[in-house]
Amino acid sequence: MKKIVESIGFIVFVQGAAGLLHEWTGWFRLWAVVRRFDFLDGYGMFANIVLVVTGVAVMIAADAIKE
């Protein structure tokens, strides 16, 4: 279970980081999930920062899970 939670946290972190790189440089267009949601239009930078922070928090919280 611990590995699954760590993997989910890593995927969320990577999505946020790729979204930030897309906002700043235009790269990683296919990886940036946030830009695909119309209701987040105009809030892309904020949503990507939230994804990065959430991914890090989930990876840290995975250490509290006992196997």
- Enumerate the domain spans of the chain: 2-64
Residue 54 confidence class, pLDDT cut points 50, 70, 90: very high
| Percent of the chain whose pLDDT exceeds 90 | 48
Mean of pLDDT values over 18-26: 88
> What DSSP letter does each residue of 10-50 carry, written as one string?
HHHHHHHHHHHHHHHHS--TTT--GGG-GGGTT-HHHHHHH
- Cβ pair 29, 22 in contact under 8 A: yes
**Distance between CA atoms of residues 11 and 7, nearest Å:** 6
The pTM score is 0.85
Mean of pLDDT values over 34-44: 83
